[in-house]
Structure 1
């Protein structure tokens, strides 16, 4: 399989890398081939840049205060902000100086919070890659953190110029950047087991006890009783409709067939084509359109309230939910997840296991169907889980951003110390793997 954009002319390597790489993450392409494709794009981004890599003059002091730069186009209301905003607001400013390089985030209230959390705010959306790289190096950034990967608004060509001595990817993308210039990525051992994953990344891995923590939308509605106790049962998936593949539909058809009073609520979209595709796929398996309801685009308050109509969430695969699943659990709605063989297909299992719901995780489609149907038939048990799930969430690593930031800062320090200890480190040197906590 090749990138769908390969062979087309493009004025932007960012457009090529983004469209091609993201397209493949929705498929079940073998990991080795997926890695080769990401690396191919990385090589195109880095072409002719290695020999011109900058000579970093950052003081190699392993204990000094560090200047951390975050690069993103999503310093605003965005799915990513529920994970990133609580980090930036909690950094220890006695040990870390925070610089946000904004690549065109839209202005909103969440963006104001990001600005308030940063020591310095630097707009770079209108800068060329060369100019942005020169600016970052001139500011003496010690660790430059990419929050985009191959998603919209990324500045991977800036990272390819290696403007900081240490460069890290965290959270914004669910696979390797493919860049030799990206030294590390932040992850955990559930998402990326050491014996299975390391060979599929250009980056070295920095494994924390959990890859992120989540701060939910506030004010959040109260959790209401399980609606299925007094009426029809509602399964739901509020993820992007593009994540619902034919294989997912086949699995959900089996679930709906085994729970005759159940309906399926699908998540926010104003795309008629996407809706028609799914109606057709379900119809081909004998599921009536009357059993499927599509939500329109909702504001955040209404989006949170709609969870009151849901009994159980169904996680798509292989591309699992992230912020969507966290909001669901925060609102008392657990999910059924199918564990896969890569980061994006392990997110659901990672979230569930962190809140102690290991029994909601399946390792094959048959077990996924069995779990979903079984829970729909044990509604009193599901109602009790609903009642306590928010408390479980708060008590878990997911709901403890203070502890996550402490672990992240420990990882940054270890990564920095590794660079200080290796003065001969070259442009593409992979540092040692980092493990923080247990």
Structure 2
């Protein structure tokens, strides 16, 4: 814990706040002292002006009487009156030598102690000097109060900072230890382990949620890899077994070697096509093709595909039509988008049955560009619609038709690469395969 970043940050912030208290205390002490000094000087100046006025109205004796009267009052200022030669005439400051104007002098107080006193010396018209002063005791007392207050504040900030930093560091340490423990458990093979979440929605909670989503994604990919491996092993067994049987038949009957080799080449082409489709899906899911994105006209793309497959549909006694509602354009890879639409059209032609009607639509859903292929065939049971996008998954009634079960998996990969949603919607009868792209910026 003492090597943790959170404790170091807490210590740093405590030091910054403690330094701030010190700086604030110095500023407060300075400004308070200045304000009190101005008050003292204003009071001394007022008393001096009053005594000068007394001299003008009552003469020297009036000033002497006023000095005696004021100098004896408890809590009053200190006064003094000197003759032209500097001889003391009245007041405790009468014997103090001070220049004309403001000065700081050492003076013995009533208790016999030396003290620093602020004095204003004013010259009277006949050469006499009037002295009015006040000691620094109140200012020094206030300095002590301010310093004690800020000293206590400094100690409080340090203590609270240390305790708060230790508590914060302990809490963060425990939560990071939970994340680290989860990672260690996953490294040891426990892929179901997840980081605990408090529900406070703070930074660490959001990190834990992101970490858990990442783990869910990794677990899904691992499961998908396991499923793909099983599917490859299962689906490749049949063509490889058939290939072996053809080759064995060719060896057993030399007169039929040509037919055996021709069949073997067909099986090899089917196997190679399957692996090529797997590699293509992996490349698409890797996002490498995103760098080649450029504006693509969905209407032109749909028209190209529809024109290419119309002869094939007519040969199968099916109809293939194109509907362009509101022209739309998206940023994407034209080759991949064409392959996606080709797979959807081929899927509809293959499984919709004879006399089927297939409609290719390019348009919008709200503001979102859309491509769809709709047929009036037998449709797909609701429980199996989402699984059609899994690799190698095929309906039972489609097992006898050519194909590897990778066409819709490639459609899903292309749609995800373009940030689009692909869905299978009942068309009553039949099925609509719809790809909805994000709204344009």
By the TM > 0.5 criterion, same fold?
Answer: no
Higher helix content, 1 or 2: 2
TM-score (ref. length: structure 1): 0.19
TM-score (ref. length: structure 2): 0.19
Q: Which has the higher contact order (CA 8 A, sep 6+)?
A: 1
